[in-house]
Amino acid sequence: MSNSQVSYPRDADTPVSHLPFSPCVVVGNLVFVSGQASVDKTGKIISGDIESEFRRSIENVEAVLKTAGTDLAHVVQTRNYVREESDLAKYNELYAEYFKDPKPARTTIVKCLGDNLRYEVECIAVLPE
């Protein structure tokens, strides 16, 4: 796309995916972050409990946001995918640790991931002025 209002920031710290998508797209002052899961620097899925997968996923979001020039404090919406309903209490606890008041708008979908992931997150953020 040749629109000067659209960019696809990426650097050495941007999490790798072997799937066909951009980690994020910046349109004007909005940053759209693709689903980030518990993957290492090579894109390999690192399965674990909800806490370890949540933390690794959010660390990946932070890396993508940093590449785009923003951070978690500028996230305005999240979409969260949680495999097990039994993980919701821990998920909510962890979410509150990372997203402070005023919290972003949020959607959580349960029982939607395959056996190799317990958690995935995507978000929209704004660039700081």
Residue 72 vs residue 19, higher pLDDT: 72
Give the phi and the psi of residue 75 in degrees, each rounded to 5.
-75, 130
Give dist(CA 95, CA 22) in Å, integer. 24
Report the CATH fold assignment for 6-126: 60s Ribosomal Protein L30; Chain: A; (3.30.1330)
pLDDT tens per residue, range 92-101? 999 999 999 9
Mean pLDDT for 63-88 is 97
8 A C-beta contact, residue 10 and residue 68: no
Residue 5 binned pLDDT confidence (cut-offs 50, 70, 90): confident
Q: Whole-prediction pTM value? A: 0.92
Indicate if the pLDDT at residue 1 is higher than 50: no
Quick one: average pLDDT of 104-126? Answer: 96
Domain ranges of the chain: 6-126
Q: What is the pLDDT of residue 87?
A: 97
Write the CB contacts of 80 (distance below 8 Å, at least 6 apart in sequence).
91, 95, 106, 107, 108, 109, 119, 120, 121
